Chain A
Amino acid sequence: MLENVAPPSTDAIAQSDRPLDRRMVAHDLWPRRNLERREGEPPRLPARVFWPETTDEVSAVVRAAKATQTPIVPFGAGSGVCNGIAPTARTWMLDVKRMGALIRVDEHASECVVEAGMIGERLERALNAHGYTLGHFPSSIYCSTVGGWVAARSAGQLSSHYGKIEDMVLGIEAVDGNGDRIVANIDDPKTGPGLLRLLIGSEGALCVFTRVRLRIHPMPTHHWLRAFQFESLDRALSTMQALMQMGECPSVIRLYDPLDTIIAGALEPTPDAPDRILAGAISQARQEYSGPVQEDDDGFVDDVVRRIEQLAIFQRPKTTRRVVGQLLSRPLIANAALDRMGSQSKLVLGFEGSGDALADRVGGIRRKVIALGGMDAGPDKGEQWLLHRHRVSYKMARTFAVGGWVDTMEVALGWEGVLPLYHGVKDALRDVTLTMCHFSHAYPDGCSLYFTFAGGGTAGSGTRSARARYDLAWERAMLTCRRHGANVSHHHGMGRSKAKAQPRTGGEAAILNALKQRLDPANILNPGVIGLGESA
């Protein structure tokens, strides 16, 4: 330990400058970092990591950092994907996971207060013990914290009913760049929703979250899931739009584009399958399968390999795997082939509530979806989604292992622009990546498009390198989104990777810079993230 580096006021706070400890918090899960690691480029380690246990300890570390002009970066579980964590060699990391307690549950108000470092899945289980749910289920729930959710404006898989995290937050306690404790509450006229919204999404640039006050819901007693297949993506999107504008607010509404539908496997019509209303909330169903990836679980590449083998193009898995790796570097050929494989799209719908209420509703909803062009594929395919609902966060490594790369992009737009944006992004990336998309966060006025794109390339930094192709894919995708007037981030945040693509200008820049200057006058809080403050 370098005893002379840390100011005396932080001596009593748990901390370390050991390389392994610094390595654990050196960056988030921005996929471009995986390319760098694969090619042997070492990560840039911060100077020190602190593990505060109280708000006062966070204040002490921030004050010490301010006194020494040391950059400081809050760290939750590191599951961000937009380069929000990019310390320099001088940076102090503030790992808040020791602040991981559920402080209180107020059943009269249906609220809870939780420390910012609590892992999401632990919070949900703790609330379940009280008979409540938060209703927030990002696929990263096992490896993300409440503070991280609020920092990046996260959305969960049941967001069409329960909302995004910013809808759930009723209050925030934080420490600003002066080391001052600050609080905003939605029902406090001095702060209200306006100031609360200013802190949410700040990604560590304005303050360090220490506690969050959240609304909670009584646990639903029953759920219903069902899958439908549509002949075209267009009709399926229109059905989503109609359901949301009728105020149905399903807990699950997930539409897969043709490629994603092909990979998941064909659906069979089962018009006579009865409605199956099962006990328990969706979040609790098949929980034993829903965690991090099993040894035999498939990744994106494995899915493609399996489908190609089913089509009997190749019979030897090793050969197929090598071919798939090469196809990622020649996506034009792969995309041309995939375009011919079908246009059908799968929609999964899920509702929660009491058994009686669901029995009253779901028959009408099923008939409505069929009337809008859906083919009823029964409950099994709907419930199958539960098996894999949290695994996507753990499935990317195998694509990197075969020499490729994969990333995801979640953007949002009004309904009238969704289909043009979908085709625009697919076309823009046609010669760079294999691209598929699902639509899983829907609102009456639009929805989120969640693209998954996989590419290849050589090592190094030449024009045919994986890094160059990765950068080219993102540049084209962001440009296309901006041309279509889409929001470039729906729930992953901006970090540095997206902030670069969407620079702040005019009055927005003036207001946020003034706020940064007042809350963080020394520019020590995660400098450069979301385009605020000069990078350290």
Chain B
Amino acid sequence: MNANDGSATKIADLQDRWSSDSGGQKRPTSVDGLALCAGLTVARFSASDLLLDVDGGATLEQARDAAAANGAYFPLLAAPGDRSIAVLASTHPLFVDGFVSHVDAIDLQGRDVSTPAAPRSAQGPDLLGALLCRPPLALCARARIRCASMTTMSMFHVQTQSADEAAAAVLHLVREAHAFSVWAQGTVVTLIAKEIPKALRPMAADDVAFGVPAAAMGGAMLSPFHLAPMVAALEEGAGIAAAPQMGRVSRTTAATSSPLVTAVDAAEAIHAGLVQGAQESQW
């Protein structure tokens, strides 16, 4: 774990408490247990790789501020700033699948679990999503998050006339794969990119009511090039988040808290999910 000294000590303490049967502290049973980590902050920003190392207990606001202080955009454009990175990771699969490149986590038995370092690998199954998403297998102690440079990219807003047009704009951006991050709500599409595609009409930033809906905390993945589910999401008042360079799209849902589970329980749940998936699929 590449934690700085203060963080490393705190995480080690946390790990000791979780792994000790006789410890005075109760073992956390959900990612809300990450409140134990509150106060840990941003550890490192790599200007070369545009990667932000941030503790799981840090809030989104802290992470955004840290990225901005280093001249970079934090990838997720809309999510409540008071939530921790660990909570966000447990409820928002697009954040994990599209923007987290590496994680150091601690499982319920107090064991370290680290995923391969950036950028990409073929070192067997990728544990990233299974570790952090529902039901989480481990607490996110440190996440390495992909950011974009403010010197080469900017934030743009696009006004469309309808949900259909907004969804079509998202689809266009995901297919082109140039934009770093996209957020659509109603008829407005916001993107971080080098430039705005010719096909899209920009609007002044002052005109944009760029709120942060509470519902933005939860997410469900969509088929990335399928327009109809995107239109439906926007018409239902949901937001759409996308990671075009990874070809990932999701819609917002209500966030639900999930209990942490052990590896054995998780394996049972995973198997049940896969078998149920087979029973319900149209293959």
Contact = CB atoms under 8 A, between A and B. Distances in A.
Interface of A: 108-111, 113, 152-155, 161, 163-164, 166-168, 170-171, 173, 176, 180-203, 206, 211, 213, 215-217, 241-242, 245-249, 360, 412-416, 441, 443-448, 485-494, 498-499, 502, 504, 506-508, 510-515, 517-519, 530-532
Interface in B68-124: 93, 96-97, 101, 105-107, 109, 111-114, 116-124
Contacts of B149: 245
Interface residues of B, number: 81
Contacts of A246: 152-153, 194
A182 B134 CA distance: 19
B177 interface: yes
B122 A492 contact: yes
A112 to B, nearest CB: 11
A512 B223 contact: no
A187 B226 CA distance: 11
Contacts of A514: 263-264, 266-267
B125 interface: yes
A185 B279 CA distance: 12
B267 A247 contact: no
B123 A414 contact: no
Contact of A110 (B113, B130, B226): B226
Contact of A182 (B50, B194, B229, B275): B275
11 contacts: A173-B278, A184-B273, A187-B222, A192-B220, A192-B221, A247-B245, A445-B51, A446-B118, A487-B116, A506-B112, A511-B266
A176 B274 contact: yes
B201 to A, nearest CB: 17
B69 to A, nearest CB: 19
Contacts of A186: 221, 223
A108 B226 contact: yes
Interface string B258-269: 000001101110
A170 B223 contact: yes
Contacts of A245: 50, 148-149, 152
A281 B277 CA distance: 36
A443 B118 CA distance: 10
Given A191-B274, A487-B123, A518-B271, A247 B226 contact: no
B125 A201 contact: yes
B114 A508 contact: yes
A518 B261 CA distance: 15
Contacts of B125: 197-202, 206, 512, 515, 530
B225 A215 contact: yes
B175 to A, nearest CB: 7
Interface of chain B, main secondary structure: mixed
Nearest to A203: B124
Contact of A487 (B120, B134, B224, B283): B120
Contacts, number: 277
Contact of B246 (A163, A184, A217, A499): A163
B120 A416 contact: no
Contacts of A413: 117-119
A485 B177 contact: no
Contacts of B264: 514
Contacts of A249: 177-178, 245
Contacts of A511: 107, 113, 127, 130-131, 137, 263, 266-267
Interface centre among A489, A493, A511 (most CB of B within 10 A): A511
Contact of A184 (B128, B137, B177, B277): B277
Contact of A202 (B49, B124, B175, B228): B124
B180 to A, nearest CB: 6
A443 B148 CA distance: 12
B113 A152 contact: no
A328 to B, nearest CB: 28
Given A185-B277, A201-B124, A416 B48 contact: yes
Q: Which 5 A-B pairs have the closest CB atoms?
A: A194-B129, A507-B113, A110-B225, A153-B122, A182-B274
A111 B225 contact: yes
A213 B281 CA distance: 12
A487 B126 contact: no
A33 to B, nearest CB: 20
B4 interface: no
A360 B176 CA distance: 14
A488 B122 CA distance: 8
Contacts of B276: 190
B240 interface: no
Given A163-B246, A182-B278, A510-B263, A518 B268 contact: yes
A215 B224 CA distance: 8
B267 A507 contact: no
A451 to B, nearest CB: 15
Contact of A197 (B116, B128, B228): B128
A475 to B, nearest CB: 18
